[in-house]
Amino acid sequence: MGIELAQVDTIIDKHHADQRALISLLLDIQDQFYFLPQEALERVADKVGVPSVQVYQVARFYKAFSLKPRGKHLLTVCVGTACHVRGGERLVDQLSRVLAVAPGETTDDKLFTLQTVNCLGCCALGPVMVVDGTYYGKMSATKIDKVLSKYRNGEEVADDD
């Protein structure tokens, strides 16, 4: 997959090619491309003046980064104990059916990536689904279509239930 390196250069310049801003720089690149392309990581290493292995170590260490393409919207479902007993796995199953992907996969249209986590730290709201940082507590399989349709249609999304 070819990317526009000029976009990467713009992001690097925004951070003044400062190696102390490596995480912020990588986050901005991921926001642009929805993952960290190999070409971008190599360009960052070159322009910032750090070994490419160091850039890859940072990109692999933090769960926030992805080295493979993600969808525009990241769906995260908690399957920790509290969410599990309240139906977290049923949410994952329903999302997998509706989106035709397994956890860790991205839809063919590159709109959604589904992932699971062991805890989101808001057990009282379980089961919990997070879409691009917006938390949806006390989720149920019947609410999934409503939430997904808002993201498909590009509407402002708020948890109004």
For 48-58, the pLDDT digits (tens) are 999 999 999 99
Burial of 139 (0-12, 13-18, 19+ CB in 10 A): buried
117: left (phi over 0), alpha (psi -120 to 50) or beta: beta
For the stretch 62-117, pLDDT in tens is 888 989 888 999 999 999 999 999 999 999 999 999 999 999 999 999 999 999 99
Domains of the chain and CATH, by start: 5-61 (no CATH), 73-152 (3.40.30.10)
> Three-state DSSP class for 68?
coil
Share of the chain above pLDDT 90, in %: 76
Predicted pLDDT of residue 2: 65
Q: What are phi and psi of 117, to 5 degrees?
A: -135, 160
